Structure 1
Amino acid sequence: MNATVVMILVLSLGTYAFRLVGPALHGRVEIPARVQELASAGAVVLLVALLATGALTENGGFAGWARPAGVLVGGVLAWRKAPFVVVVVGAAAVTAALRAVGIG
């Protein structure tokens, strides 16, 4: 086996073990309220960072203005509780329209 296969196996076993710990320790370990709040905040920060890097960068550089504008429109539509299809089509339409007029 090469190193890539070994790494995939190790990560898959680690993921399975991590998922198994939750049900196994449920009810046995008390997590303080402050730690739960910090974990929730950390998850939000991580998702925002992932969204920002995906929306703003491409191949290590700025992705242009069309993609962030589409993500912004999609975010506003989702915030306004629009159906998922409307969110996706709206974001794609804004991105495509901006790229069609030369705003890349």
Structure 2
Amino acid sequence: MTLVAVALLAVGTYAFRLAGPLLHGRFQPSADMRRLLSVGTAVLLVALLATAALTQGQGFAGWARPTGVLTAAVLAWRRAPFMVVVAAAALTTALLRLAGVP
């Protein structure tokens, strides 16, 4: 059963990737559809970020990780270099955990 599921996912992934080059130039989405896809992409990324930042296993991840993510978000919004954003988020989370904040 697992092998069948993996094979179906592989075929689906290949078909999805093949659809781009095959449909290029034949399908022009409307301006509203492009805007909706752009907004949908942003919403999906924010939902994934929130899930990863706030949960661990089946429960709340504690306050250290969301604080680190918030630090990264503020620095990214202020257009800090990527390495500074990552280092500050990691340092914030580590220092909070060292101080005993879960």
TM-score (norm 2): 0.94
User: 1:17 Cα deviation (Å)?
Assistant: 0.6
- Aligned residues between the structures: 102
Divergent runs of 4+, >6 A: none
Q: CA deviation at 1:8?
A: 1.1
Percent identity, please: 60
Counterpart of 1:62 in structure 2 is: 60
Match of 1:91 in 2: 89
Aligned to 1:8: 6
State the match for 1:76 in structure 2.
74
* TM-score normalised by structure 1 residue count: 0.93
CA offset digits 1:65-97 (Å, max 9, x no partner): 100000011111122222221111110000011
Alignment RMSD (CA, Å): 0.9
The gaps in structure 1 that reach 5 residues or longer are none
Match of 1:51 in 2: 49
Which blocks of at least 5 consecutive residues in structure 2 are unaligned? none
